[in-house]
Amino acid sequence: MKSQLVLMKVGDYWPECLVYLVCVWSSLCLSHNVMCYLHIILNIFCLYIIGSNSVVNLQYGVEQVSSGSKVFCYQNTIVPTWKHTWTRIQVKVWSSRGFKVHIVDDEEQLQELERWSAWGWFQSWLRENHNETSININLFKKKTCLKMEPVDGTKYTLKTLRKFDIYLFLVFLTGGLLFLFADSLSKSQLFYYSAGMSTGIIASLIILFFVLYRFMPKKGPFYLLVAGGWSFSIYAIQLVFRNLHSILKTHWHFVLGYVAVVGFISFAICYRYGPLVDEKSINILSWTLQLLGLILIYTGIQIQPVAFAIIVSLVLAKNLDYPVSLAIALRFVNWKPEPRRLLTEEEYQRQGEEETRRALEELKQYCKSPEFNTWKTVSRLQSPQRFADFIEGSSHLMPNEVSVHSQEYGFGGSFFEEDIFDTDDEDDVKPIIDPE
Protein backbone atom coordinates (compact mmCIF):
# COMPACT_ATOMS: atom_id res chain seq x y z
CA MET A 1 0.00 0.00 0.00
CA LYS A 2 2.78 2.40 0.90
CA SER A 3 4.63 1.61 -2.33
CA GLN A 4 1.47 2.42 -4.32
CA LEU A 5 1.15 5.77 -2.58
CA VAL A 6 4.81 6.55 -3.28
CA LEU A 7 4.39 5.65 -6.95
CA MET A 8 1.23 7.80 -7.12
CA LYS A 9 3.09 10.78 -5.69
CA VAL A 10 6.00 10.21 -8.05
CA GLY A 11 3.59 10.00 -10.99
CA ASP A 12 1.95 13.27 -9.99
CA TYR A 13 5.24 15.15 -9.68
CA TRP A 14 7.34 13.38 -12.34
CA PRO A 15 8.80 16.59 -13.86
CA GLU A 16 10.13 17.69 -10.48
CA CYS A 17 11.49 14.24 -9.71
CA LEU A 18 13.24 14.17 -13.09
CA VAL A 19 14.91 17.47 -12.31
CA TYR A 20 15.95 16.14 -8.92
CA LEU A 21 17.48 13.02 -10.54
CA VAL A 22 19.43 15.27 -12.90
CA CYS A 23 20.72 17.11 -9.85
CA VAL A 24 21.84 13.87 -8.20
CA TRP A 25 23.47 12.66 -11.42
CA SER A 26 25.35 15.93 -11.74
CA SER A 27 26.68 15.58 -8.22
CA LEU A 28 28.01 12.11 -9.02
CA CYS A 29 29.44 12.68 -12.49
CA LEU A 30 30.75 16.23 -12.44
CA SER A 31 33.94 17.40 -10.82
CA HIS A 32 33.55 19.02 -7.44
CA ASN A 33 36.22 21.59 -8.25
CA VAL A 34 34.61 22.74 -11.51
CA MET A 35 30.80 22.31 -11.14
CA CYS A 36 30.22 22.78 -7.41
CA TYR A 37 28.24 26.00 -7.75
CA LEU A 38 26.14 24.57 -10.59
CA HIS A 39 25.30 21.56 -8.41
CA ILE A 40 24.15 23.78 -5.56
CA ILE A 41 21.98 25.92 -7.88
CA LEU A 42 20.34 22.85 -9.44
CA ASN A 43 19.54 21.36 -6.03
CA ILE A 44 18.04 24.64 -4.82
CA PHE A 45 15.94 24.85 -8.00
CA CYS A 46 14.75 21.28 -7.54
CA LEU A 47 13.76 21.81 -3.90
CA TYR A 48 11.94 25.02 -4.87
CA ILE A 49 9.84 23.21 -7.50
CA ILE A 50 8.92 20.36 -5.16
CA GLY A 51 8.23 22.69 -2.27
CA SER A 52 6.01 24.93 -4.37
CA ASN A 53 3.49 22.07 -4.69
CA SER A 54 3.48 21.16 -0.99
CA VAL A 55 0.28 21.55 1.04
CA VAL A 56 0.14 24.32 3.65
CA ASN A 57 -2.07 23.62 6.67
CA LEU A 58 -4.27 26.46 7.87
CA GLN A 59 -4.49 27.13 11.60
CA TYR A 60 -7.53 28.59 13.33
CA GLY A 61 -7.14 32.31 14.05
CA VAL A 62 -3.67 32.55 12.45
CA GLU A 63 -2.98 34.86 9.50
CA GLN A 64 -0.81 33.36 6.78
CA VAL A 65 0.78 35.59 4.17
CA SER A 66 1.92 33.89 0.98
CA SER A 67 2.47 34.47 -2.72
CA GLY A 68 2.35 32.40 -5.86
CA SER A 69 0.14 29.44 -6.66
CA LYS A 70 -0.15 27.27 -3.54
CA VAL A 71 -2.44 24.69 -1.98
CA PHE A 72 -3.93 25.23 1.48
CA CYS A 73 -5.89 22.72 3.54
CA TYR A 74 -7.91 23.17 6.72
CA GLN A 75 -8.25 20.18 9.05
CA ASN A 76 -11.60 20.37 10.85
CA THR A 77 -11.32 19.30 14.49
CA ILE A 78 -14.89 20.20 15.54
CA VAL A 79 -17.36 17.41 16.29
CA PRO A 80 -20.70 18.97 15.27
CA THR A 81 -23.28 19.07 18.09
CA TRP A 82 -26.41 21.13 18.75
CA LYS A 83 -24.18 23.92 20.10
CA HIS A 84 -22.79 24.43 16.58
CA THR A 85 -26.22 24.82 14.96
CA TRP A 86 -25.45 28.31 13.67
CA THR A 87 -21.64 28.19 13.85
CA ARG A 88 -19.87 29.13 10.64
CA ILE A 89 -16.22 28.36 9.83
CA GLN A 90 -14.80 30.62 7.14
CA VAL A 91 -11.46 31.11 5.44
CA LYS A 92 -11.11 34.81 4.66
CA VAL A 93 -8.74 35.67 1.80
CA TRP A 94 -7.74 39.17 0.73
CA SER A 95 -5.11 40.69 -1.52
CA SER A 96 -4.16 43.97 -3.14
CA ARG A 97 -4.83 42.48 -6.59
CA GLY A 98 -7.12 39.81 -7.99
CA PHE A 99 -6.88 36.06 -7.47
CA LYS A 100 -8.85 32.90 -8.23
CA VAL A 101 -9.75 30.16 -5.75
CA HIS A 102 -10.38 26.48 -6.50
CA ILE A 103 -12.13 24.66 -3.64
CA VAL A 104 -11.96 20.86 -3.30
CA ASP A 105 -12.41 18.30 -0.53
CA ASP A 106 -8.96 16.70 -0.43
CA GLU A 107 -5.60 16.41 -2.19
CA GLU A 108 -6.84 13.80 -4.66
CA GLN A 109 -9.26 16.29 -6.19
CA LEU A 110 -6.44 18.80 -6.35
CA GLN A 111 -4.55 16.36 -8.56
CA GLU A 112 -7.50 16.37 -10.94
CA LEU A 113 -7.17 20.14 -11.24
CA GLU A 114 -3.62 19.69 -12.53
CA ARG A 115 -4.89 17.56 -15.42
CA TRP A 116 -6.12 19.62 -18.34
CA SER A 117 -9.70 19.14 -19.53
CA ALA A 118 -12.11 21.23 -21.57
CA TRP A 119 -14.70 21.29 -18.78
CA GLY A 120 -12.09 22.27 -16.22
CA TRP A 121 -10.82 25.03 -18.48
CA PHE A 122 -14.40 26.29 -19.00
CA GLN A 123 -15.07 26.33 -15.25
CA SER A 124 -11.78 28.12 -14.65
CA TRP A 125 -12.74 30.71 -17.25
CA LEU A 126 -16.08 31.28 -15.54
CA ARG A 127 -14.44 31.90 -12.18
CA GLU A 128 -14.16 35.56 -11.33
CA ASN A 129 -11.11 37.30 -9.92
CA HIS A 130 -11.54 38.54 -6.36
CA ASN A 131 -9.73 41.03 -4.20
CA GLU A 132 -11.44 39.69 -1.08
CA THR A 133 -13.63 36.66 -0.46
CA SER A 134 -14.80 34.33 2.31
CA ILE A 135 -14.91 30.56 1.82
CA ASN A 136 -17.38 28.58 3.93
CA ILE A 137 -16.12 25.33 5.45
CA ASN A 138 -18.53 22.42 5.88
CA LEU A 139 -18.70 21.32 9.52
CA PHE A 140 -19.12 17.67 8.54
CA LYS A 141 -16.04 17.50 6.31
CA LYS A 142 -12.80 16.56 7.98
CA LYS A 143 -10.65 18.39 5.45
CA THR A 144 -11.20 21.16 2.94
CA CYS A 145 -8.52 22.24 0.48
CA LEU A 146 -8.23 25.25 -1.77
CA LYS A 147 -5.77 26.26 -4.46
CA MET A 148 -4.81 29.90 -4.77
CA GLU A 149 -3.95 31.39 -8.17
CA PRO A 150 -2.98 35.05 -7.68
CA VAL A 151 -2.35 37.50 -10.49
CA ASP A 152 1.38 37.98 -11.23
CA GLY A 153 2.49 36.35 -7.99
CA THR A 154 0.84 38.97 -5.77
CA LYS A 155 0.95 38.44 -2.01
CA TYR A 156 -2.29 37.42 -0.33
CA THR A 157 -3.41 36.73 3.24
CA LEU A 158 -5.51 33.86 4.58
CA LYS A 159 -7.17 33.69 7.99
CA THR A 160 -9.54 31.06 9.43
CA LEU A 161 -12.48 32.42 11.43
CA ARG A 162 -15.23 30.85 13.52
CA LYS A 163 -18.32 32.95 14.21
CA PHE A 164 -22.08 32.98 14.74
CA ASP A 165 -23.81 33.10 11.36
CA ILE A 166 -26.57 35.69 11.75
CA TYR A 167 -27.82 35.13 8.18
CA LEU A 168 -28.29 31.41 8.82
CA PHE A 169 -30.23 32.21 12.00
CA LEU A 170 -32.44 34.73 10.15
CA VAL A 171 -33.27 32.09 7.53
CA PHE A 172 -34.30 29.70 10.31
CA LEU A 173 -36.34 32.39 12.07
CA THR A 174 -38.10 33.37 8.84
CA GLY A 175 -38.99 29.75 8.15
CA GLY A 176 -40.37 29.26 11.66
CA LEU A 177 -42.54 32.39 11.51
CA LEU A 178 -43.73 31.47 8.02
CA PHE A 179 -44.75 28.00 9.19
CA LEU A 180 -46.52 29.18 12.35
CA PHE A 181 -48.41 32.07 10.75
CA ALA A 182 -49.17 30.42 7.40
CA ASP A 183 -52.91 30.29 8.10
CA SER A 184 -53.09 34.00 8.93
CA LEU A 185 -50.87 35.04 6.01
CA SER A 186 -52.92 33.05 3.50
CA LYS A 187 -55.99 35.13 4.46
CA SER A 188 -54.18 38.49 4.65
CA GLN A 189 -54.75 40.94 1.81
CA LEU A 190 -51.49 42.76 2.57
CA PHE A 191 -49.51 39.54 2.18
CA TYR A 192 -51.45 38.68 -0.99
CA TYR A 193 -50.53 41.93 -2.75
CA SER A 194 -46.94 41.96 -1.42
CA ALA A 195 -46.30 38.39 -2.53
CA GLY A 196 -47.92 39.05 -5.90
CA MET A 197 -45.77 42.11 -6.59
CA SER A 198 -42.56 40.33 -5.49
CA THR A 199 -43.36 37.31 -7.63
CA GLY A 200 -44.05 39.53 -10.63
CA ILE A 201 -40.75 41.40 -10.26
CA ILE A 202 -38.70 38.20 -10.02
CA ALA A 203 -40.65 36.22 -12.62
CA SER A 204 -40.37 39.00 -15.20
CA LEU A 205 -36.56 38.81 -14.96
CA ILE A 206 -36.63 35.07 -15.59
CA ILE A 207 -39.00 35.51 -18.54
CA LEU A 208 -36.80 38.27 -19.98
CA PHE A 209 -33.70 36.11 -19.69
CA PHE A 210 -35.51 33.19 -21.34
CA VAL A 211 -36.72 35.37 -24.24
CA LEU A 212 -33.21 36.73 -24.83
CA TYR A 213 -31.86 33.19 -24.77
CA ARG A 214 -34.43 32.12 -27.38
CA PHE A 215 -33.57 34.98 -29.75
CA MET A 216 -29.82 34.55 -29.31
CA PRO A 217 -28.11 33.47 -32.59
CA LYS A 218 -26.86 29.88 -32.63
CA LYS A 219 -23.84 30.45 -34.85
CA GLY A 220 -20.15 30.94 -34.45
CA PRO A 221 -19.04 32.09 -30.99
CA PHE A 222 -22.49 31.52 -29.54
CA TYR A 223 -22.12 27.75 -29.80
CA LEU A 224 -19.83 27.88 -26.78
CA LEU A 225 -22.40 29.91 -24.88
CA VAL A 226 -25.14 27.44 -25.78
CA ALA A 227 -22.90 24.52 -24.81
CA GLY A 228 -22.35 26.10 -21.44
CA GLY A 229 -26.11 26.15 -20.90
CA TRP A 230 -27.05 26.24 -17.25
CA SER A 231 -23.46 26.76 -16.13
CA PHE A 232 -23.36 30.12 -17.87
CA SER A 233 -26.82 30.96 -16.51
CA ILE A 234 -25.74 30.19 -12.95
CA TYR A 235 -22.56 32.17 -13.48
CA ALA A 236 -24.57 35.15 -14.75
CA ILE A 237 -26.91 35.00 -11.76
CA GLN A 238 -23.99 34.77 -9.33
CA LEU A 239 -22.27 37.65 -11.09
CA VAL A 240 -25.39 39.81 -10.76
CA PHE A 241 -25.79 39.05 -7.05
CA ARG A 242 -22.12 39.68 -6.31
CA ASN A 243 -22.25 43.05 -7.99
CA LEU A 244 -25.78 43.88 -6.83
CA HIS A 245 -24.59 46.69 -4.58
CA SER A 246 -22.61 48.40 -7.35
CA ILE A 247 -25.49 47.89 -9.82
CA LEU A 248 -27.96 49.51 -7.43
CA LYS A 249 -25.55 52.34 -6.74
CA THR A 250 -24.65 53.05 -10.37
CA HIS A 251 -27.91 52.31 -12.18
CA TRP A 252 -30.37 53.02 -9.39
CA HIS A 253 -32.73 55.00 -11.65
CA PHE A 254 -33.15 52.06 -14.05
CA VAL A 255 -33.70 49.66 -11.16
CA LEU A 256 -36.22 52.02 -9.55
CA GLY A 257 -38.09 52.44 -12.84
CA TYR A 258 -38.17 48.68 -13.43
CA VAL A 259 -39.47 47.97 -9.92
CA ALA A 260 -42.10 50.73 -10.20
CA VAL A 261 -43.44 49.63 -13.61
CA VAL A 262 -43.38 45.87 -13.02
CA GLY A 263 -44.65 46.30 -9.45
CA PHE A 264 -47.60 48.40 -10.64
CA ILE A 265 -48.48 45.86 -13.35
CA SER A 266 -48.29 43.02 -10.82
CA PHE A 267 -50.46 44.98 -8.37
CA ALA A 268 -53.01 45.67 -11.12
CA ILE A 269 -53.21 41.97 -11.99
CA CYS A 270 -53.64 41.01 -8.33
CA TYR A 271 -56.29 43.72 -7.89
CA ARG A 272 -58.11 42.54 -11.01
CA TYR A 273 -58.51 38.99 -9.73
CA GLY A 274 -58.79 39.99 -6.07
CA PRO A 275 -57.66 38.17 -2.93
CA LEU A 276 -58.38 34.49 -2.43
CA VAL A 277 -61.89 33.78 -1.18
CA ASP A 278 -62.28 30.10 -2.00
CA GLU A 279 -61.56 27.90 1.01
CA LYS A 280 -59.66 25.34 -1.07
CA SER A 281 -57.42 28.00 -2.62
CA ILE A 282 -56.66 29.43 0.82
CA ASN A 283 -55.78 25.96 2.11
CA ILE A 284 -53.45 25.33 -0.85
CA LEU A 285 -51.67 28.65 -0.23
CA SER A 286 -51.40 27.88 3.49
CA TRP A 287 -49.90 24.44 2.81
CA THR A 288 -47.46 25.96 0.32
CA LEU A 289 -46.31 28.54 2.88
CA GLN A 290 -45.91 25.83 5.51
CA LEU A 291 -43.82 23.72 3.14
CA LEU A 292 -41.67 26.73 2.26
CA GLY A 293 -41.24 27.47 5.96
CA LEU A 294 -40.07 23.90 6.65
CA ILE A 295 -37.57 24.15 3.79
CA LEU A 296 -36.19 27.41 5.21
CA ILE A 297 -35.93 25.83 8.67
CA TYR A 298 -33.98 22.90 7.24
CA THR A 299 -31.75 25.26 5.26
CA GLY A 300 -31.08 27.50 8.27
CA ILE A 301 -29.76 24.68 10.49
CA GLN A 302 -26.47 22.93 9.73
CA ILE A 303 -27.01 19.98 12.11
CA GLN A 304 -29.48 17.66 10.38
CA PRO A 305 -30.70 15.81 13.53
CA VAL A 306 -31.48 19.17 15.16
CA ALA A 307 -33.28 20.33 12.02
CA PHE A 308 -35.40 17.17 11.84
CA ALA A 309 -36.21 17.37 15.57
CA ILE A 310 -37.40 20.97 15.26
CA ILE A 311 -39.43 20.21 12.12
CA VAL A 312 -41.15 17.21 13.73
CA SER A 313 -41.88 19.23 16.88
CA LEU A 314 -43.43 22.08 14.90
CA VAL A 315 -45.55 19.74 12.78
CA LEU A 316 -46.83 17.85 15.83
CA ALA A 317 -47.47 21.04 17.79
CA LYS A 318 -49.47 22.53 14.93
CA ASN A 319 -51.49 19.43 14.05
CA LEU A 320 -52.06 18.23 17.64
CA ASP A 321 -54.11 21.36 18.26
CA TYR A 322 -57.20 19.75 16.74
CA PRO A 323 -57.08 16.45 18.71
CA VAL A 324 -56.44 18.33 21.95
CA SER A 325 -59.33 20.72 21.28
CA LEU A 326 -61.58 17.76 20.46
CA ALA A 327 -60.59 15.97 23.67
CA ILE A 328 -61.31 19.10 25.73
CA ALA A 329 -64.69 19.54 24.01
CA LEU A 330 -65.65 15.91 24.67
CA ARG A 331 -64.66 16.30 28.30
CA PHE A 332 -66.90 19.35 28.69
CA VAL A 333 -69.78 17.54 26.97
CA ASN A 334 -69.57 14.59 29.34
CA TRP A 335 -68.91 16.78 32.37
CA LYS A 336 -71.83 17.41 34.70
CA PRO A 337 -71.76 19.92 37.54
CA GLU A 338 -72.03 18.58 41.06
CA PRO A 339 -75.40 19.24 42.74
CA ARG A 340 -75.41 22.12 45.20
CA ARG A 341 -75.68 21.32 48.88
CA LEU A 342 -78.76 22.87 50.47
CA LEU A 343 -78.56 24.65 53.80
CA THR A 344 -80.18 23.23 56.86
CA GLU A 345 -82.62 25.30 58.89
CA GLU A 346 -80.02 26.02 61.57
CA GLU A 347 -77.44 27.07 58.97
CA TYR A 348 -80.02 29.25 57.25
CA GLN A 349 -80.92 31.06 60.48
CA ARG A 350 -77.28 31.47 61.50
CA GLN A 351 -76.34 32.84 58.08
CA GLY A 352 -79.27 35.24 58.16
CA GLU A 353 -78.27 36.55 61.56
CA GLU A 354 -74.63 37.04 60.50
CA GLU A 355 -75.54 38.83 57.30
CA THR A 356 -78.05 41.05 59.12
CA ARG A 357 -75.50 41.95 61.77
CA ARG A 358 -72.88 42.77 59.14
CA ALA A 359 -75.30 44.91 57.12
CA LEU A 360 -76.40 46.84 60.22
CA GLU A 361 -72.79 47.51 61.14
CA GLU A 362 -72.06 48.83 57.66
CA LEU A 363 -75.15 51.06 57.90
CA LYS A 364 -73.93 52.51 61.20
CA GLN A 365 -70.49 53.24 59.75
CA TYR A 366 -72.03 54.95 56.73
CA CYS A 367 -74.30 57.11 58.90
CA LYS A 368 -71.26 58.27 60.89
CA SER A 369 -69.23 59.15 57.77
CA PRO A 370 -68.97 62.73 56.39
CA GLU A 371 -70.72 61.65 53.19
CA PHE A 372 -73.98 61.04 55.08
CA ASN A 373 -76.47 63.95 54.94
CA THR A 374 -77.78 63.90 58.52
CA TRP A 375 -80.34 66.72 58.39
CA LYS A 376 -81.96 65.52 55.20
CA THR A 377 -82.33 62.00 56.57
CA VAL A 378 -83.68 63.14 59.98
CA SER A 379 -86.32 65.30 58.30
CA ARG A 380 -87.75 62.21 56.60
CA LEU A 381 -87.84 59.93 59.67
CA GLN A 382 -90.93 59.40 61.83
CA SER A 383 -88.80 58.68 64.94
CA PRO A 384 -85.48 60.53 64.84
CA GLN A 385 -84.78 59.62 68.48
CA ARG A 386 -84.94 55.90 67.70
CA PHE A 387 -82.59 56.39 64.73
CA ALA A 388 -80.13 58.27 66.96
CA ASP A 389 -80.22 55.48 69.54
CA PHE A 390 -79.52 52.95 66.78
CA ILE A 391 -76.50 54.92 65.63
CA GLU A 392 -75.19 55.08 69.20
CA GLY A 393 -75.39 51.29 69.58
CA SER A 394 -78.93 50.40 70.58
CA SER A 395 -80.88 47.62 68.93
CA HIS A 396 -82.74 48.36 65.73
CA LEU A 397 -85.83 46.50 67.00
CA MET A 398 -88.20 47.26 69.87
CA PRO A 399 -89.14 44.49 72.33
CA ASN A 400 -92.74 44.38 71.11
CA GLU A 401 -91.54 44.02 67.50
CA VAL A 402 -89.45 41.01 68.51
CA SER A 403 -92.41 39.34 70.23
CA VAL A 404 -94.74 39.97 67.29
CA HIS A 405 -92.15 38.48 64.89
CA SER A 406 -91.83 35.41 67.09
CA GLN A 407 -95.60 34.91 67.17
CA GLU A 408 -95.92 35.29 63.44
CA TYR A 409 -92.81 33.48 62.12
CA GLY A 410 -91.63 31.38 65.03
CA PHE A 411 -92.24 27.67 65.54
CA GLY A 412 -95.98 27.23 66.12
CA GLY A 413 -96.79 30.66 64.74
CA SER A 414 -99.62 31.53 62.40
CA PHE A 415 -97.39 31.72 59.32
CA PHE A 416 -95.98 28.27 60.09
CA GLU A 417 -99.46 26.76 60.51
CA GLU A 418 -100.75 28.28 57.27
CA ASP A 419 -97.72 26.91 55.43
CA ILE A 420 -98.45 23.41 56.73
CA PHE A 421 -102.17 23.23 56.23
CA ASP A 422 -102.39 25.22 53.02
CA THR A 423 -103.08 23.11 49.87
CA ASP A 424 -102.81 24.01 46.23
CA ASP A 425 -105.68 21.89 44.94
CA GLU A 426 -108.89 23.31 46.30
CA ASP A 427 -110.92 21.01 44.04
CA ASP A 428 -109.92 18.02 46.15
CA VAL A 429 -111.76 19.47 49.15
CA LYS A 430 -115.44 18.55 48.78
CA PRO A 431 -117.97 20.55 50.79
CA ILE A 432 -120.20 18.60 53.14
CA ILE A 433 -123.86 19.19 52.35
CA ASP A 434 -126.47 18.21 54.85
CA PRO A 435 -129.16 16.17 53.15
CA GLU A 436 -132.64 17.42 53.70
Q: What does 107-141 look like in DSSP terms, one character per residue? A: HHHHHHHHS--HHHHHHHHHSPPEEEEEEEE-TT-
Same domain for 220 and 184, yes or no, is yes
Is the per-residue pLDDT at 363 higher than 50? yes
- Over residues 170-182, the pLDDT tens digits come to 999 999 999 989 9
Residues in the chain: 436
More confident residue, 24 or 197: 197
Whether 272 and 189 map to the same domain: the answer is yes
Average pLDDT over residues 311-322: 81
Give domain status of residue 233, yes or no: yes
Tens digits of per-residue pLDDT, 19-32?
Answer: 445 544 444 444 44
Write down the pLDDT at residue 216. Answer: 59
Average pLDDT, the chain: 74
Q: Look up the domain containing 407 and give its range.
A: 355-419
* Residue 389 and residue 310 share a domain: no
Both 307 and 363 in one domain: the answer is no
pLDDT at 34: 45
For the chain, the domain total comes to 4
Task: Please tell me whether residues 93 and 198 are part of one structural domain.
Answer: no
- The reply to whether 424 falls in a domain is no
309 and 207 share one domain:
yes
Distance, in Å, from the CA atom of 29 to the CA atom of 12, rounded to the nearest integer, reads: 28
Q: Return the pLDDT at 4.
A: 38
Handedness of CA 378, 382, 385, 390 (dihedral sign): negative
Say whether both 281 and 294 belong to one domain.
Answer: yes
pTM comes to 0.54
Do 393 and 252 have their domain in common?
Answer: no
Question: 270-315, pLDDT tens digit by residue?
Answer: 888 888 888 898 999 999 999 999 999 999 998 888 999 999 988 8
Domain boundary residue, one of 10, 27, 51: 51
Q: Which pLDDT score, from 0 to 100, does residue 23 have? A: 47
Whether 52 and 69 have beta carbons less than 8 Å apart is answered as: yes
The answer to whether residues 60 and 108 belong to one domain is yes
In terms of DSSP bridges, do strands 70-75 and 130-137 run parallel, antiparallel, or are they unpaired? unpaired
Name the range with the highest mean pLDDT among 78-82, 103-107, 360-364: 360-364
* Residue 73: closest CA among 96, 99, 104, 46: 104
pLDDT at 165: 86
Same domain, 200 and 309: yes
List Cα–Cα distances, 160 to 63, 300, 307, 341, in angstroms. Answer: 8, 22, 26, 78
The verdict on residue 148 lying in a domain is yes
Q: Are strands 63-67 and 130-137 parallel, antiparallel or unpaired?
A: unpaired
Select from 88, 96, 90, 89 the least CA-distant residue to 132.
96
Please tell me whether residues 208 and 268 are part of one structural domain.
Answer: yes
Cα separation of 133 and 158, whole Å? 10
Question: Residue range 32-52: average pLDDT?
Answer: 48
Flag whether 272 is in a domain: yes
pLDDT at 137 over 50: yes
Gap between the Cα atoms of 296 and 305, Å rounded: 15
Query: What was the pLDDT predicted at 436?
Result: 43
Note whether 283 and 194 are same-domain residues: yes
Of 138-152, 194-208, 231-245, 305-319, minimum mean pLDDT range: 231-245
| Percentage of residues of the chain with pLDDT beyond 70 | 65
> Looking at residue 218, what is its pLDDT?
53
Q: How many CB atoms lie within 10 A of CB 295?
A: 15
d(CA 89, CA 137) in angstroms, rounded, equals 5
Query: 3-class SS at 262?
Result: helix
